[in-house]
Structure formats: C-alpha cells, structure tokens
Amino acid sequence: MVKRADLSHAPCPVARSLDLIGDWWSLLIIRDALEGVCRFTAFQQSLGIARGMLADRLRMLVDHGIFQSVPASDGSAYREYRLTSKGEDLHLVVVALRQWGEAHLYGPEEPRSALVDRQRLEPVAPLTLQAADGRALQWPETRVLKAEPFPSPPPAR
Amino acid sequence: MVKRADLSHAPCPVARSLDLIGDWWSLLIIRDALEGVCRFTAFQQSLGIARGMLADRLRMLVDHGIFQSVPASDGSAYREYRLTSKGEDLHLVVVALRQWGEAHLYGPEEPRSALVDRQRLEPVAPLTLQAADGRALQWPETRVLKAEPFPSPPPAR
C-alpha cells in the first residue's frame, strides 16, 4: 500500500471514510460481501487477490467494525465474514460507484451486471441529491461548510 | 501504486468505476474540485500530496475525461483543472462517502464539515435507495443480476 497521510482524524467526512475504505480491494471485498460472499476462499476466488493481501484487508475491516468474523453457519470449522450494520451501510457508496460506472464507462451493448429491486426485477432508480425538505438538488446548489470547532462552554462565574 | 488486476473491462460497474477512481488521492482531488479548487498548487496545498503524484493523478483523470485542463480564467499563464460533467457526476460517490463517515466515524461533538443546501444552509438529506417506482428499498430488497452477454441477433434466413 502506498504510504500516505493519515486521514483518520480529518474534519472532512469524505477524507475520513476514504482513510478506512479508500482502496480498490476494500471496496471490492465489501461489494462481494453485499452480494452474499462470506468465506475467505470465496472472496479469494471472486477477486483473484493474493491470500496475504486478502487476510490483511479482512483483518483491518474487522478491526474497524465493518465486518465481524463468526463461526460458519454450516457448523464446519471455517469462519465467515459478515458485514455489520456499519458495513452494510456502505451499500450506498457501492451503488453510487455502480451508477456512475453504468452512466459513463460502458458502451451501449456491453454486458454488465445490474442492481434490481427483488420484487419487480427492475433496475433501482438513480440516486439523487435532495434537500432536507425533499427538493431535488443539483451539485451547484449545495455548499460545503468547513468544520468549525464547537464553541467552548461559557466561562463559569 | 500497488500493482493489481486490470478492472477496466469488468462486467461489474462497481469494479470498473474503482479501476478509474479507486484510490484515496483521486477521490480527494475530485472532492476538492467539487468544492471549487482548480489550480495545481491549490490541490497540492489542500492535500499535502507530492507534486509528482498529483501531476500523475491529474494527467490520468484528464486522460479519462474526468477533468479538462484549460487556460486560467484570470488570463495568467497557469492552467486550471475543471471537472467535466462526467467528473461532476462523481458528486454522488463523494456524498455517499461523506454521509457514511458522518454516521459512523465521528464522536458526537467532533467538528466536521457539512454539506448544505445553499438556499437554506441546512444539511442535505441522506441518500436513499429507491425502486424505479419510488418505493424506498433496503439493501436486502435488492439483488445483483450478473452480466449476461447480449443475445445474438436471430440468424438471417
């Protein structure tokens, strides 16, 4: 892994998230887990990743509460890696990556996987940005307010 | 950069997107650009990234149509890096990362930046997954259909 700045205390939530999951492997492991993969060898086969690198990533993801490692559901000696609710919440990141790729990286007839609603088997709707009151927002209608330190409590009298 | 599998032809749009933008630096550069940064030195100052690495990333992002490099708007000899519409569409990936970080990586009083609607200065709504007909979907209500090759045209008679 390229050595880089530690972003784990950044005031920007984008940076802090990327500090944890900002590499291809972690997000591909999480994508596979969201699609039901739970065994070490299954991740390895799906991703073609070296054993040591997969073990490192899974350990890191367990340490950060994104996966939990549990005994296999079939009673065998294997362990399984299950997404926690914190991990499952990453589905929106994965969906956003998917939809951007669908929109910009495929030719019109190129085969690709599809994310569908189980009930109707139709592709899910594109994610959209909305204001708190439900108005649709374009990106230029938003603004990032920089972090401000919380005001100190009033001095004791 | 760690050498890894080439995902640029993957049938999974998540993988194909990550092939392009799946490293911390690229997404942090794109985050900064979404917040208005456009000059090389401004990216460098904001990110604390080595010049060579920043130049590599910007070149790659220009090559892939995410940025365009244009003469500076003030008429100086500098160049500016502007997101294309393909690049600006990545805002949903950045917002998804932000919202996951906000939900899971901050203590209750820890200062952090906020993404607000310019009109009311209120934080934007959390992204939600919806079916084509507008029903809210939880992740387990969805399914990924694997890529299938397009059916060949019927044989000519």
User: Which residues in chain A are closer than 8 Å to B132, comparing Cβ atoms?
Assistant: 117, 120, 122-125
**CA distance linking residue B131 with residue B111, whole number of Å:** 35
pLDDT at A22 over 90: no
Contact (CB<8Å) A17/B109 = no
Candidate from B104, B118, B144 with C-beta closest to A141: B118
User: Which residues in chain A are closer than 8 Å to B123, comparing Cβ atoms?
Assistant: 132
Average pLDDT score over chain A: 88
Please state, for a pLDDT cut of 70, what percent of chain A lies above it: 90
Q: How far is B43 from chain A (nearest CA, A)?
A: 14
Candidate from B11, B91, B121 with C-beta closest to A139: B91
Q: Is residue A114 part of a domain?
A: no
Q: Is residue B73 part of a domain?
A: yes
Candidate from A20, A142, A148 with C-beta closest to B115: A142
What are the mean pLDDT values of chain B's consecutive 10-residue runs (157 residues total)? 66 81 85 95 92 94 94 88 96 94 88 93 96 95 82 55
Q: Is residue A8 part of a domain?
A: no
In this predicted structure, what is the pLDDT of residue A8? 79
Q: What is the CATH number of the domain that holds B76?
A: 1.10.10.10
Instruction: Identify the closest residue of chain B to A35 by CA–CA distance.
Output: B144
**CA distance linking residue A118 with residue B98, whole number of Å:** 28
- Reported as a single tens digit per residue, the pLDDT across A62-73 is 999 999 999 988
Q: Is A156 on the interface with B (CB under 8 A)?
A: no
DSSP state of B150: P
In this predicted structure, what is the pLDDT of residue B24? 77
Please state, for a pLDDT cut of 90, what percent of chain A lies above it: 63
Paired residues of B80 in beta bridges: B39, B70
Candidate from B12, B98, B134 with C-beta closest to A113: B12
φ, ψ dihedrals at B104, nearest 5°: -125, -10
Closest CA to A100 of B131, B56, B64: B64
**Residues A24-51: what's their mean pLDDT?**
92
Say how many domains are in chain A.
1
Residue A98 DSSP SS3 = helix
Parallel/antiparallel/unpaired status of strands B79-83 and B67-71: antiparallel
Phi-psi region of B57 (alpha: psi -120 to 50; beta: other; left: phi over 0): alpha
Q: Is A130 on the interface with B (CB under 8 A)?
A: yes
In this predicted structure, what is the pLDDT of residue A10? 80
The H or E element that residue B115 is part of is strand B114-117
Q: Is residue B135 part of a domain?
A: no
Q: Is residue B80 part of a domain?
A: yes
Substitution target from B1, B6, B17, B150 for chain A, most A beta carbons within 10 A: B17
In this predicted structure, what is the pLDDT of residue B65? 94
Parallel/antiparallel/unpaired status of strands A114-117 and B142-145: antiparallel
Contact (CB<8Å) A89/B98 = no
DSSP state of B51: H
AA identity, residue B143: R
Q: Is residue B29 part of a domain?
A: yes
- Reported as a single tens digit per residue, the pLDDT across A99-153 is 999 999 988 888 889 999 999 999 999 999 999 999 999 999 999 998 876 555 5
Its domain, for residue B53, covers 13-84
Contact (CB<8Å) B142/A111 = no
Transcribe A19-37 into DSSP letters: HHH-BHHHHHHHHHHHTT-
Q: Is residue A118 part of a domain?
A: no
More confident residue, B33 or A3: B33
In this predicted structure, what is the pLDDT of residue B142? 97
Candidate from B34, B92, B125 with C-beta closest to A100: B92
Q: Is residue A149 part of a domain?
A: no
User: Which residues in chain B are closer than 8 Å to A103, comparing Cβ atoms?
Assistant: 89
**CA distance linking residue A99 with residue A105, whole number of Å:** 10
**CA distance linking residue B123 with residue B117, whole number of Å:** 6
Contact (CB<8Å) A92/B96 = yes
Contact (CB<8Å) B119/A104 = no
The residue to which tokens 């008679």 are assigned: B157
AA identity, residue A7: L
Exposure string over A46-79, b if 16+ CB within 10 A, otherwise e: ebebeeeebeebbeebeebebbeeeeeeeeeeee
The H or E element that residue A53 is part of is helix A51-63
